[in-house]
Structure formats: C-alpha cells, structure tokens
C-alpha cells in the first residue's frame, strides 16, 4: 500500500474560476476537462479543481481522471493517489496512469503496490499497465514480479505488443537474465527498437559477456553515444582498458561527440593502464570539449587518473583548480596522497575538509587508514578507526577492518591484528587472511602463520592468492611436504598463479612483459642488459638475492635464476636500453612488488642515476638514488 494513500485532498482554494481564463457563469464538465488536459502545474490544477468543485462537476469521470493526471504530472503524487482512493469505481486506465507516475519517478515499491491493488480489484492489466509497471521491477525481488507480469502478458495475449516486449526485455536485461532478454530480442528481429538494442548491449556489457556485446555493437547501423558508452563501460569494468580506450578514440573519429560519461569511462581506463600520455591527451580533450564541463565528477576522474599514472603533481593541480569540490573530490585526493605514501598530507587533508564543514564518508576513512598503513602510523590509524563510529556514526565495513589488519600486521602487531579479526561481526574475507599471512611472513612469525595456514587449509578457505603465501610460509620454514600439498591443492582446484605482468611506457608506446618473457623483438639485448646489471649489483653492491620467496623446492642457483626474470626486472632492463641516460623510467605492475625486485630497483636507481616510478597493485614506489619513497614499508 502506498504511503501516500492516506493523503487528504486540500479544501478548494478560494480562487475565482475567472482567473482560470473562462467565463464567470457555468463551468461545464467538458470545459473543465479541456482546461485540465494541458495542465502541468500543481497550483493551476488545484485552482481548476476548486472551480470544478464549485460548479459541481468534479465527480465527472473525465474531470476526475484529468485532475488526477494533472496532479500526477505536476509531481503531486499524494493528491493523485488520494483522488484514486476516493473514486468509487476506478478504471484500469486510472490505475495505470497513477502507476506510471510513480514508476517513472523511481518510486518502484509504491508503483508495484498500486498494481497489486489494481489486480486485487479484479481489473485486468492493459499493455499500458504492463509497460508502466515493468520498469518498477528492480532490485531484489524485481525479477520475480517481472516474471509474473510476463506470465500475465502471455495469458492476456499482450506480449506481442512492442511496448510490452521492450519493457519486458528491459526488465530482464536490468536483472541480468541475459538469456530471457536475448529470447525476446530475437523475436524482435529484424527491426528491434533502439531502446531494446541498448538494453541488450548494456546487459551483455555489465555481465562481462563482451564478445556478445561487441558483435551486437558492431552490427548496429547507427550508434548513439549511449551505445558507445555501454560498450566502453563493459571494457573498462572487465579489465580490458586498452580496448576501452581504442573504442573511445574510434567514437571520436566516427563523429559522435563524447559526453561526460564517455570521458569519465575513458579516464578510468587510462587510470587502469597507468599511461600518462593518454591521460594528458584526454585532459586536453576535456578542456576543448564543448560538451564536457570540468565539474566535480570529471575532476574526480582526472585526479584519480593522474595519481594512478604516477603524477601526483598533476592530480594536485586539478584538485586546486576545481572551484566546486564535494567530498568525492576530496576522497580522490586523499587516496592519491595515500597511494603515493604522503601519509601526513592525507591526514592533513582530512583536517582541512572537516574545517570546510564537509562530512567524511566511509571512502574517506579507507583513504586515511590506507595512508596510516602505508607509513606505519599505528596510533593515528587506531584513532581514525575509533572515531569513525563514535564521532561520525559510520559503521566500519570489512574494508576498514582490512586496512587496520594491514596496518597492525605490517607494524608487526600481528597478535593485535588477529584479535581484531576475531572480534569482527562479519566473516573475514580473503584479502584479510592474505594480509595476515603476509604479515606473518614479513615478521617471520611462522608459528601464527602456520596456525592460520592450517586453519584455512582445513576449512577449505584457501584461495589462489593465499596458496602462494601458504607455500611461501611453509617454504620459509623448510616444510617442503606442506609446500607440495598446497601446490597440488592449487593444481587440483584448477587455480593458476596469476602471472606477474609489468608495463612500461616509453613515449606513447606501452610494452608489456610477463615473468620470464622472451617474446620481445629485442629480447637478447634485454636479457643481456639485465644480466649485466644483476652481476654488478651482486659483485659490487653486495646485493643478496632473496630466495626464500620462491615457491619451489629448488636448489639455490635455480632459485636465483627464477627471481632474475620477474617482469619488473625485464621492464626496467628494457627501459635502460631504450631511453636516454637520466630519463625517468615508469613501470606499472599487476601484482605487489616482491622484496627482491624492490631491492634491485632501489640499487638500479642509485647506479644509473635514474628516477624509477613503480606502481604495484596497491601503491606507488618512487625510487631515487638508492632509496624508495615507501621507506621499505609496503
């Protein structure tokens, strides 16, 4: 039942009918209905309503219906519903118009309550009722109601109606039932409406069925920017940023003007790739676009892109240049500082936004807690974590606990981290176990590490990310039998270790290396350079390869070799041979940096005098003259 059902109709306003533009004498029902037909203002509707009451024609069916329509279109849904309730014998048309008024304003539950009312009165839905109600079938339970309405449509032979079919397809597409949507779509061939095409495309793209989406997309004779955005969104959301960006460039060439959404999607693709050149190009595109304004939303995407591409200065410049900063913009900047290890700055930003009267969100706290974690600021972290709930009324989510576990674990307070995990109301997630295990390995607390490992293995909670750590922990204490067990579990579950992959941007060209890569045309030079560098590090700078990180039960010499070919090492060697001396080298890796590569990159920056900017899965490392901005704490 709608909450508005009990609304009281206003007593007629003391307005003269003359002000409504007619004669003083008699207002006929026909005339009242005609005047109401084009009425879109609530004030005007109530004036006419008053006049109709005085003239005694307000109970006329046509007047009643038009009044209700006028209230509904002008946004006075409470009065529209009150009229419906008062009507002695409301028709399906009357109901449908009220349902439509609610569903088109996103008041889905109220719309469905009215529909259920209508059906319980014994009124049958029309094509209009169905196409007005189906958009209200959203969220949890929406699919079940939608299917029931589909049943009605078939039973009443209305499913062939193009509006009904379109609404049904939209309903299935929104709820992710691609098969049902596709079946309806195929029935619409050869000439589906553009609304259906877009719905189908969006459904595929959201679900990650990108090939299906793409073949639909490519087959479209005419594509509007909504179709382009849906396709670009699919690529961006499902880890194919290169294709997203390529499509964005094609969109430009095809003469379709990108809107704000397209630009934000393209920026997010660049942020994933970490390619500054493309990012700068997009930034200048925004400056020159007649259609895209540099507002808070686009600004946030630019800040996000710049700091993820390694250029914190550019992110700060965008932030400073924005006139209208909401909390989302601040959150992006705080995260940027945190990811680059400028923890104090991130914390200062928190104070600044409070001073400006902005209220932090749960994302703000993820930013500051990450900042604390990246610099080992345990006391500050504990304070922020406490204040979240006590001062700001934000209940910590699993991500916040995750940050705290990470912070405590890295700082060596593993028991406290473990206690925190056990005190949580929710179940710990895989990320949390991974950071606990990593902390155990880092601080060589193998007793707790093994305890957790045994618990995870015994309870079937281990996953691919953990298998590596589990075998690392077992390997570090020389328990090769357990290492073997974990490795065979890994094989049995069909999970492969995610291959390490590093990308290096030289000019506008991005080159990718996977671990042990030999596919590059200059592979001999790259490997020769790497060997030369490594030899120098070991012989002249006392570098000791950190072999404990390798999984296999290998002899020492082979272990060293396995380390030597990590993808970031190949990328840095390639950078050294293909850029002029002194040029900065920028690398983006899909996994966390291992301790050995971290040590090697530090030394390389010292020997070669190069600045190396390295983004791993979690944060940035700026290597300069033998030191890293993370202070070896990551």
Binding positions for Zn ion, rule: CB under 5 A: 566, 594, 596-597, 621, 628, 630
What is the residue whose two structure tokens read 């209009």? 128
Output 305 or 630, the one with its CB closest to Zn ion: 630
Q: Which string of DSSP letters, residue by residue, matches 330-364?
A: HHHHHHHHHHTT-HHHHHHHHHHHHHTT----HHH
How many angstroms separate the CA atoms of 611 and 567, rounded? 18
How many angstroms separate the CA atoms of 475 and 24, rounded? 97
Output 169 or 630, the one with its CB closest to Zn ion: 630
Q: Which string of DSSP letters, residue by residue, matches 51-108?
A: HHHHHT-TTSHHHHHHHHHHHHHTT-HHHHHHHHHH-SS--HHHHHHHHHHHHTTT-H
Q: How far is the CB of 605 from Zn ion (least distance, A)?
A: 11
CA angle, residues 216, 219, 225, in degrees to nearest 5: 75
Q: How far is the CB of 455 from Zn ion (least distance, A)?
A: 28
Q: How far is the CB of 451 from Zn ion (least distance, A)?
A: 28
Output 234 or 274, the one with its CB closest to Zn ion: 274
Beta bridge mates, 167: none
Output 27 or 597, the one with its CB closest to Zn ion: 597
Q: How far is the CB of 572 from Zn ion (least distance, A)?
A: 11
Output 586 or 621, the one with its CB closest to Zn ion: 621
Q: How far is the CB of 538 from Zn ion (least distance, A)?
A: 15
Give the CA diameter of the chain.
109
Q: How far is the CB of 601 from Zn ion (least distance, A)?
A: 8
Q: How far is the CB of 500 from Zn ion (least distance, A)?
A: 7
Residue 620: φ, ψ to 5° = -100, 145
Output 63 or 599, the one with its CB closest to Zn ion: 599
Residue 170: strand, helix, or coil = helix
How many angstroms separate the CA atoms of 269 and 272, rounded? 5
Q: Which string of DSSP letters, residue by residue, matches 481-546?
A: HHHHHHHHHHHHTTPPPPPPEEEEEETTEEEEEETT---STTHHHHHHHHHHHHHHHHHHH-----
How many angstroms separate the CA atoms of 502 and 511, rounded? 8
What is the residue whose two structure tokens read 């002029």? 580
Q: How far is the CB of 312 from Zn ion (least distance, A)?
A: 15
How many angstroms separate the CA atoms of 255 and 240, rounded? 23
Output 289 or 608, the one with its CB closest to Zn ion: 608
Output 164 or 628, the one with its CB closest to Zn ion: 628
Q: How far is the CB of 592 from Zn ion (least distance, A)?
A: 9
Output 231 or 573, the one with its CB closest to Zn ion: 573
Pairing state between β 612-615 and 585-589: parallel
Count Cβ atoms below 10 Å from residue 331 Cβ, excluding itself.
Answer: 25
């Amino acid at each position: 039942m709608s909450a508005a059902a009990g609304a009281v109709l206003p007593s007629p306003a003391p307005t003269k009918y003359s002000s409504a533009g007619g004669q003083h004498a008699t207002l006929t029902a026909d005339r009242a209905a005609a005047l109401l037909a084009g009425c879109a203002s609530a004030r005007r509707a109530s004036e006419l309503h008053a006049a109709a009451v005085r003239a005694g024609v307000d109970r006329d069916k046509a007047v009643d219906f038009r009044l209700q329509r006028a209230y509904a279109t002008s946004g006075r849904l409470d009065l529209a519903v009150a009229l419906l309730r008062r009507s002695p014998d409301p028709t399906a048309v009357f109901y449908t118009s009220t349902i439509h008024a609610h569903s088109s304003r996103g008041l889905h539950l109220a719309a469905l309550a009215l529909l259920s009312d209508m059906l319980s009165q014994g009124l049958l839905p029309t094509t209009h009722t169905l196409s007005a109600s189906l958009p209200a079938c959203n969220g949890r339970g929406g699919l079940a109601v939608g299917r029931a309405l589909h049943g009605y449509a078939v039973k009443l032979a209305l499913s062939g109606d193009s509006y009904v079919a379109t609404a049904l397809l939209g309903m299935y597409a929104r709820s992710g039932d691609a098969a049902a949507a596709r079946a309806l779509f195929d029935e619409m061939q050869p000439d589906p409406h553009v609304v259906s095409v877009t719905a189908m495309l969006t459904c595929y793209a959201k679900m990650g069925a990108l090939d299906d989406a793409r073949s639909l997309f490519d087959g479209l004779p005419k594509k509007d920017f909504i179709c382009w955005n849906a396709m670009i969104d699919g690529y961006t959301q499902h880890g194919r940023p290169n294709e997203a960006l390529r499509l964005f460039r094609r969109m430009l060439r095809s003469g379709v003007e990108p809107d704000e959404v397209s630009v934000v999607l393209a920026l997010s693709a660049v942020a994933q790739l970490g390619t500054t050149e493309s990012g700068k190009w997009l930034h200048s595109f925004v400056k020159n676009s007649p259609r895209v304004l540099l507002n808070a939303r686009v600004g946030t995407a630019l800040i996000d892109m710049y700091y993820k591409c390694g250029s914190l200065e550019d992110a700060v410049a965008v932030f400073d240049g924005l006139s209208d900063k909401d909390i989302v913009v601040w959150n992006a900047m705080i995260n940027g500082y945190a990811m680059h290890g400028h923890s104090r700055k991130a914390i200062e930003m928190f104070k600044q936004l409070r001073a400006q009267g902005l209220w932090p969100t749960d994302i703000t706290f993820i930013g500051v807690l990450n900042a604390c974690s990246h610099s080992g600021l345990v006391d500050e972290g504990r304070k922020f974590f406490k204040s979240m709930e006590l001062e700001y009324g934000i209940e910590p989510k699993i991500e916040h606990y995750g940050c705290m576990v990470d912070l405590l674990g890295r700082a060596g307070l593993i028991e406290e981290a473990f206690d925190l995990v056990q005190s949580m109301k929710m179940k710990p997630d895989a990320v949390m176990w991974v950071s606990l295990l990593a902390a155990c390995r880092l601080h060589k607390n193998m007793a707790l590490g093994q305890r957790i490992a045994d618990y995870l293995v015994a309870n079937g909670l281990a996953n691919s990310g953990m298998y590596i750590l589990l075998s690392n922990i077992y390997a570090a204490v020389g328990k090769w039998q357990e290492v073997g067990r974990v490795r065979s579990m890994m094989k049995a579950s069909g999970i492969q270790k995610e291959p390490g992959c590093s990308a290096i941007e030289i000019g506008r060209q991005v080159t990718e290396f996977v671990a042990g890569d030999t596919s590059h045309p200059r592979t001999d030079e790259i490997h020769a350079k790497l060997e030369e560098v490594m030899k120098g590090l070991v012989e002249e700078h006392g570098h000791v390869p950190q072999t404990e990180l390798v999984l296999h039960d290998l002899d020492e010499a082979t272990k060293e070799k396995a380390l030597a070919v990590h993808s970031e090492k190949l990328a840095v060697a390639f950078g050294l041979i293909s850029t002029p001396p002194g040029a900065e080298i920028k690398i983006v890796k899909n996994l966390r940096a291992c301790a050995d590569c971290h040590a090697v990159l530090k030394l390389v920056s010292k020997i070669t005098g190069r600045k190396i900017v390295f983004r791993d899965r979690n944060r940035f490392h700026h290597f300069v003259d033998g030191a890293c901005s993370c202070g070896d704490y990551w």
